Chains A and B, each alone.
Chain A
Amino acid sequence: DIQMTQSPASLSASPEEIVTITCQASQDIGNWLAWYQQKPGKSPQLLIYSATSLADGIPSRFSGSRSGTQYSLKISRLQVEDTGIYYCLQRYSNPWTFGGGTKLELK
C-alpha cells in the first residue's frame, strides 16, 4: 500500500499569514493527489485535485504543488474560516490512502 506521510500534524497561525502543509508519498503517484478540508462537524470538502488544480468554488488563496513525491498545499492570506483539518489523498492505486491530517488553528 502507498503511505502518505503528512506534516505537520498541527499548526497555529495568524490571519493573513501563509501556511504550507506537505504530504510525502512512499512511491511515485504522479499527479494522483488531492487535498481536502474538513471543518469541525462537517464533511470533507475538495480543495485541490490532480496535485495542482483548484476545485470549483475554492478561493485562489489555496494552491497545490508537487516536487517529485512531495506534495504541498499552500494557503495564502489565512482567514479565520480556514480553521479545520486538512487531508491529502492519493488515488494512484488501490487502496486509496489519506494522509494523517493537519489540524490548522488560527491564533
Chain B
Amino acid sequence: EVQLVESGGGLVQPGRSLKLSCLASGFTFSNYGMNWIRQAPGKGLEWVASISSSSSYIYYADTVKGRFTISRDNAKNTLYLQMTSLRSEDTALYYCARRGTTTFFDYWGQGVMVTVSS
C-alpha cells in the first residue's frame, strides 16, 4: 500500500525557517517524481515545487522561488521541503504527492500544517 506521511510542521514566526519531511513507503520511491502542494485554510490548492526521481529536474512556483528548496534522499525514501524567510501567506496545509505513471499526482499524504504568525 502506498503511503506518504508528512511531518515537521508547526507554528513559526515570520522570517524564520522550517523543514518539512515526507516519508514514503509501499512503492519504489526512487522511480517517481515528487511534489509539494499546499492549501491555505479554506482556500484552493496551489502547487509549490516538483522534483524528478533522480533530482535532475526541480521546479518551483514563483511565490516560493528563492525561499523554498525541495530535495530528496532516495536511500531514506524521504522528500523534503526547506522553507526559509517564511511569510504569513505561507500558512497552509502542505501535502506531498507522488507523480504517478499517469504523470499526474496519484497519491497524496494527509498533509502537515504550517502556521506563520508572530
Contact = CB atoms under 8 A, between A and B. Distances in A.
Nearest to B95: A43
Given A43-B95, A43-B110, A94-B59, A89 B104 contact: yes
Contact of B111 (A34, A43, A89, A101): A43
A43 B46 contact: no
A50 interface: yes
Contact of A98 (B44, B100, B102, B109): B44
A50 B44 contact: no
Size class of the contact patch on chain B: 10 to 19
Interface of B: 44-47, 50, 59, 61-62, 95, 100, 102-106, 108-111
12 contacts: A36-B105, A44-B95, A45-B108, A46-B104, A49-B103, A89-B45, A94-B59, A95-B47, A95-B62, A96-B50, A98-B44, A101-B45
Given A43-B111, A89-B104, A91-B104, 14 more contacts: A34-B105, A43-B109, A43-B110, A46-B105, A46-B106, A49-B102, A49-B104, A55-B102, A87-B45, A89-B45, A89-B47, A91-B103, A95-B62, A98-B47
